[in-house]
Amino acid sequence: MTKRPTIRTALLGAVAVTALGATVAAPSLLSTYPAQAAQIAGQPAPSTIAPGSFADVVDRVSPAVVSVKVKMVENASDDDDSPAQSMPNIPKGDPLERFFRQFQQRGGMGNPKPHPHTGMAQGSGFFISSDGYIVTNNHVVENATDVEVALQDGKTVPATVVGTDKKTDLALIKVKSGSNYPFVQWASSVPRVGDWVIAVGNPFGLGGTVTAGIVSARGRDIGAGPYDDFLQIDAPVNRGNSGGPTFNTEGQVVGINTAIFSPSGGSVGIGFAIPTEVARGVIQDLKDKGVVARGWLGIQIQPVTADIAESLGLKDAKGALVAEPQKGSPAAAAGIRSGDVITAVNSDMVDSPKELSRKIAGLGPDKKVTLTVWHEGSQKNVDVTLGTLPNDQQAKADMPKPQDEKAQLSTYGLTLAPAASIAGAGSAGVVVAEVDPDGTAAQKGLQTGDVILEAAGKPVARPSDVSTALSDAKKDGHKAVLLRVKTGDNVRYVALSTQNAG
């Protein structure tokens, strides 16, 4: 039987970024990967000229690289093509529909009711200690009922899952018996773009395979998760390389192979590896506690665009703009407010919201940090004690239905109405009742149902409050006005140009 995982891809143009895990019986099937990564930091490694041969390094590290074989129980899906899942083409509500559905649920004649079945999958991994701890990908061992590890000498030993982390697609497993296993070390410095790397793994279930290439890029965000910061390598990696190591020419692990960018499912010279700087801390947490605890500020943040920077008086369009602090969060307790821009953490500059998220998450709970904040036209430092990142929550958007008391800002392509006049919109702010898709407001991302809470830092209750803020800003020589906008449960800032203001 084959593993039939839920396949999740991040489409880039017509090409998909996919996880590398391969099934044993059907290597064309892929495993999923969730989210990954944190910031690559540290001093650049010295440049390395390509050696005449990688054989010495390969001889030294290959015994530590293993094949991870996984058994899991899968339930037949509702959209399975098996006969038991088929239904005659009967109009909905017809009495025969109920008869056939009951017949199917009982199993029917010749159409047995779907039942769980066993699947097999296979990936790669590597020892990080002599007592049998192995690093691999979460998507390799996810939903596993049994895990086995095939060593370089062909011996197979059982293993258990110590812990997994979906956000970075990392997992730690441990063999159940034996000791004195060969293992490899994490790299002590980050690779530079152009440095040689060696990938070792188990592509297509073939067994130990070695490929070489260079680091093509760093800090890649492929939309896989909240902490994306991948190494991009051109050493050929394929399905089944998932969880396998990428080494530098010293034989140290610089990354864990996780995904490929490919139109066909095979290598086209673009692979992605979780950098050691991310993996090392995550794996240590899994070893010590079985889970990963991340730091938490409790804020909604967004990028600082050029328009926003100009509106706030910032010299550079960098940092993370606080759209809204959550009630009872560490940020709120420390005095962080909507409209603040966080530009550094412990004097380490922050260029983007994602970078801030990675830094805070990587510091961990209960850590005391100093944030550099741009607040109402001046810079200040704010001390915060981080909390523990709670489980992800899905934002629920209740779209208001426009009714009466509408007013038009025709030069922006907007029709506004007081929130109090719109059922379900609450009592604060002004609702965007209609948006011209070709208008200036639509180009800035405003959409029907958005609630404008503030304009130029002041609360608004009527459409005229918004138009007045725009015209006043234009008279004062400002190029844009910041609107604080709520979409569902999310709050963000939109910089609307004053060019069209009356």
Predicted confidence at residue 340, as pLDDT, reads 93
Alpha-carbon span 121 to 26, nearest angstrom: 9
- List, as residue ranges, the binding site for substrate: 139, 169, 240-242
Each residue's pLDDT tens digit, 347-395: 999 988 888 988 898 888 999 999 999 998 899 999 999 998 875 433 2
| Residues 227, 250 contacting (CB under 8 angstroms) | no
Pick the more confident residue, 423 or 278: 278
pLDDT tens digit string along 163-189? 999 888 999 999 998 889 999 999 999
What per-residue confidence (pLDDT) applies to 100? 54
**What average pLDDT score do residues 37-59 get?**
62
Measured distance CA(153)–CA(178) in Å, rounded? 14
For a pLDDT cut of 90, what percent of the chain falls above it? 33
Dump pLDDT digits (tens) for 223-260. 666 677 789 999 888 888 889 999 999 999 999 998 87
DSSP classification of residue 278: H
Residue 298 gets the label, from left (phi > 0), alpha (psi -120 to 50) or beta, of left
* Distance in angstroms (rounded) separating the CA atoms of residues 442 and 213: 45
- Token pair listed for 103: 């017949």
Nearest 5°: phi and psi at 371? -100, 135
N- to C-terminal Cα separation, the chain: 69
pLDDT at 63: 95
Q: How confident is the model at residue 105 (pLDDT cuts 50, 70, 90)?
A: low
Q: Given this model, what pLDDT does residue 220 score? A: 81
Sketch out the chain's domains with CATH numbers.
10-71+121-289 (2.40.10.120), 74-106 (no CATH), 295-388 (2.30.42.10), 407-497 (2.30.42.10)
DSSP for 132-158, written as a single string: -EEEEEHHHHTT-SEEEEE-TTS-EEE
Q: How buried is residue 357: exposed, middle or buried, by Cβ count under 10 Å (0-12/13-18/19+)?
A: buried
Q: Which residues are catalytic, by number? A: 139, 169, 242
Highest mean pLDDT among 123-137, 385-399, 424-438: 123-137
What are 6-43's pLDDT values in tens digits?
A: 223 222 333 445 566 543 433 332 333 333 333 334 44
DSSP annotation of 231 reads E
Q: State how far the Cα of 53 lies from the Cα of 33, in Å rounded to an integer.
A: 33
The residue among 270 and 39 whose pLDDT is bigger is 270
Instruction: Please state the pTM of the whole predicted model.
Output: 0.62
Write down the pLDDT at residue 331: 93
